[in-house]
Amino acid sequence: MELVHTVAALKEAITTQKKQDKTVGFVPTMGALHEGHLSLVRQAGDACSFVVVSIFVNPNQFNNKEDLERYPRNLDADLAMLKTTPCDLVFAPTVSEMYPTEDHRVFDFGHLDVVMEGLHRPGHFNGVAQVVSRLFNMVEPHKAFFGLKDFQQLAIVNQMVKQLKMPVEIVPCPIVREPDGLAMSSRNTLLNSTQRASATLISQTLFAAMQKARHLSVEALKQWVVDNIDQNPDLQTEYFDIVEDQHLNSITSWTDAGNKIGCIAVHCGKVRLIDNVTF
């Protein structure tokens, strides 16, 4: 496994592999890796003959400076974990390497980036699109692998690829959970033991909601989810919505068309956690 820090070294390594007709799989990450990330790398290894992982905490997608500063970083630990996977090349650039000049591009994703995460984290998805498009241009992968935990982000990336006509296949990968059901997240490491125990209520409530959906209206179920989570003093729901999976429009009835995804963001102390389930 090779580690590079510059775009020039990255492109040189990938050019060498493509000359050997290797298919390039790419997993973009912000580090603080966990089993969820490693599952993406393994899926990339199954589908492609050369796997690239990027590790870069992108400042452009943080609308909260404190959140950016608090985001966990441990490159040595990340590299040790990646050595157990099919990862061939790690790209870990500095901010100045990724953004030699400021990126002033503004993307228009219509409805997709003004609801849920977009509503509560203004500018977040524009920053995601900036960095992912740059990474795609640098790596030029055949396939890129994204976790379904960030369901709305996946919709944004798919739309960005269409808008920019990028020749990359986006591969969605299942949510990986802790044994107690909590969706794996780099932010989980920021929870103290009491908060960590409380956080399990998020997934427990979502799983219970999947059963209650047979008997409750959409609005009644949404209210039940929020009330059930917020009864825990460590937790405060920021939003919970049930949307169709194509345009992320809120559904009003279980008979509405499309696959239905329940998306949630919850503050556990100062840590913000997201999750989703399919109804």
In eight-state DSSP terms, residue 253 is S
Does residue 37 have an active-site annotation?
yes
SS (H, E, C) 1-38: CEEECCHHHHHHHHHHHHHCCCCEEEEEECCCCCHHHH
Dihedral sign for Cα 36, 37, 42, 44, please: positive
Is residue 14 helix, strand or coil?
helix
What the block records as the tokens of 267 is 């503050």
Place of tokens 């099919």: 86
Q: What is the distance between the alpha carbons of residues 205 and 223, in angstroms, rounded to a whole number?
A: 12
Amino acid residing at 194: T
Amino acid present at 104: H
Side-chain-facing half-sphere of 269: CA atoms under 13 Å? 15
Catalytically annotated residue among 34, 37, 120, 215? 37
Catalytic residue list? 37
